Structure 1
């Protein structure tokens, strides 16, 4: 079963304040996660995402579908990126996620296979 690993950040501006050594440590955590997933399964995809102020949301307002600037909801944490992995059970994926940098709040969800899609 595949899982989506969502990486949220409480302080999305922290990258700009990090030293080169701090950034290298963050990237080392990502590398360790990717290597561990590859040893147990595979990474199906993943990317960093742009900041929330670049988002557009499609809402139904008064029966009409309208594009609204900004994210779906106001949150303390902002989505910073994701991985789509196939590496065992949700418990196993959660254990692998411990390798990611600890400044992320990590949410893992099973991906639902919809028959015939």
Structure 2
């Protein structure tokens, strides 16, 4: 099985302005997604709703090699990543059919991307601990 990240893109204002009936419909869609995914043999490894993009902190390198920190989203766009799921599956096409239930308003999108397995690479945690002098 391979692991995929499902990124949930939508207009944050649509969610912030949604009435309670719409919010309940979206919550139910997430329950339906989980039930259908599990029923189809996909394994949900985790997932979370993200806080609004305006709460983000972006750290980037400038053209002279220095780091800059800024408040707000990485990209100024109407649609932002609002949440994610990590899903293990042998059937990404089947997963794509099931995630359709999560595109709750016009313009909402679900992006499915494979996660590259670096488990055979250097153990970054052990390497960081060694660099910090922690045993």
Aligned pair count? 116
* Aligned mate of 2:69, from 59, 67, 70: 67
* Uncovered stretches (5+) of structure 1, i.e. residues with no partner: none
Where does residue 33 of structure 2 map in the other structure? 33
CA RMSD of superposed structures (Å) = 1.6
* Aligned mate of 2:93, from 84, 87, 91: 91
Q: Deviations over 1:13-34 (max 9, x none)?
A: 2234333322221111110001
Alignment map for 1:2-81 (pairs within 5 Å): 2-10=3-11, 12-39=12-39, 40-61=41-62, 62-81=64-83
Looking at structure 2, the residues matched to 101 and 113 of structure 1 have their Cα atoms a distance apart, in angstroms, of 28
Higher helix share: 2
Higher strand share: 1
Q: Contact 1:30–1:101 at 8 Å: present in 2 too?
A: no
* Aligned mate of 1:112, from 97, 100, 116: 116
Looking at structure 1, the residues matched to 13 and 78 of structure 2 have their Cα atoms a distance apart, in angstroms, of 13
**Higher RCO, Cα 8 Å, sep 6+:** 1
The structural deviation recorded for 1:113 is: 0.6
* Structure having the higher Rg: 2
The structural deviation recorded for 1:6 is: 0.6
Q: TM-score, normalised by structure 2?
A: 0.76
Q: Secondary structure at the match of 1:75?
A: coil
* Uncovered stretches (5+) of structure 2, i.e. residues with no partner: 124-135
